[in-house]
Chains A and B, each alone.
Chain A
Amino acid sequence: EVQLVESGGGLVKPGGSLRLSCAASGFTFSDYSMNWVRQAPGKGLEWVSSITSSSNYIYYADSVKGRFTISRDNAQNSLYLEMNSLRAEDTAVYYCARDRGYCSSISCYGIDFDYWGQGSLVTVSS
């Protein structure tokens, strides 16, 4: 059974930092691209960042570029999101999601966010 479990959320002051983790099980983690998606309270979904299976290609939404860093440890079956210079507008539930698609140097193909974790709440407030 595929499982994705996020952790590391909590309350942080504006300008602070936080590191989210996503523990994966039930599949060969190193075969899949992974993503972070967030949802502010009462709002819709927002894609945050993607990382390919071997970390060859990494993408960020403009809203987090330069502040957030996605990474993965295939030996530990884990995905991470390092969040710096946090703002009130970063307050959200953060989900990790598996992607069955793949990327080459030219493009990505077959995007399919098939499995999602239950999410981790990040609150940025003084």
Chain B
Amino acid sequence: QTVVTQEPSLTVSPGGTVTLTCASSTGAVTSGYYPNWFQQKPGQAPKALIYSTSNKHSWTPARFSGSLLGGKAALTLSGVQPEDEADYYCLLYYGDALVFGGGTKLTVL
């Protein structure tokens, strides 16, 4: 069974920078996994942030960026705002299946 692993929780100060990662139990994450990143706030549906590793949607704030880092997919927030406090999920493609990471709870403190 394929497992996608994210940091369970991270804390960042307002204005700071934080990187969330997404690792695959099958090995290094590449662009062929089409990494997607989503933000979810309490009581709300997930909101798409990043697709195909590093592409932003029209509504994605410029402070969010996606990349591949050390064999993992990564989401970096630069100049974190209080409203960025949320759960973040990655999604990877495995041919005949898609797998979400367990999510990272980001606290802005």
Give A contacts to B, CB under 8 Å: 35, 37, 44-47, 50, 59, 61-62, 95, 97, 100-101, 107-119
Q: Given A47-B97, A101-B34, A112 and B52 touching (CB < 8 A)?
A: yes
* Contact of B46 with A by CB under 8 A: yes
Whether the Cβ atoms of B100 and A47 lie closer than 8 Å is yes
Contact with A along B34-52 (1 / 0, CB 8 A): 1010101000011110011
Whether the Cβ atoms of A114 and B51 lie closer than 8 Å is yes
Contact with A along B41-68 (1 / 0, CB 8 A): 0000111100110010100000000000
Residues of A within 8 Å of B36, CB to CB, are: 111-113
Q: List 18 A-B contacts (CB under 8 A).
A: A35-B98, A44-B89, A44-B101, A45-B91, A47-B91, A47-B99, A61-B97, A62-B1, A95-B45, A101-B34, A111-B36, A111-B93, A111-B98, A112-B51, A112-B52, A113-B36, A115-B48, A119-B45
Nearest residue, chain A, Cβ from B47: A116
Whether the Cβ atoms of B100 and A111 lie closer than 8 Å is no
* Contact of B95 with A by CB under 8 A: yes
Distance A64 CA – B45 CA, assembled complex (angstroms): 22
Q: Given A44-B89, A45-B38, A114 and B100 touching (CB < 8 A)?
A: no
Give B contacts to A, CB under 8 Å: 1, 34, 36, 38, 40, 45-48, 51-52, 55, 57, 87, 89, 91, 93, 95-103
Whether the Cβ atoms of A45 and B34 lie closer than 8 Å is no
Residues of B within 8 Å of A95, CB to CB, are: 45-46
Whether the Cβ atoms of A113 and B100 lie closer than 8 Å is no
Distance A110 CA – B99 CA, assembled complex (angstroms): 15
Residues of A within 8 Å of B101, CB to CB, are: 44
13 new A-B pairs (CB below 8 Å) besides A46-B100, A111-B91, A113-B46? Answer: A44-B100, A45-B46, A50-B98, A59-B97, A100-B51, A110-B52, A111-B34, A111-B93, A113-B38, A114-B51, A114-B57, A115-B48, A116-B46
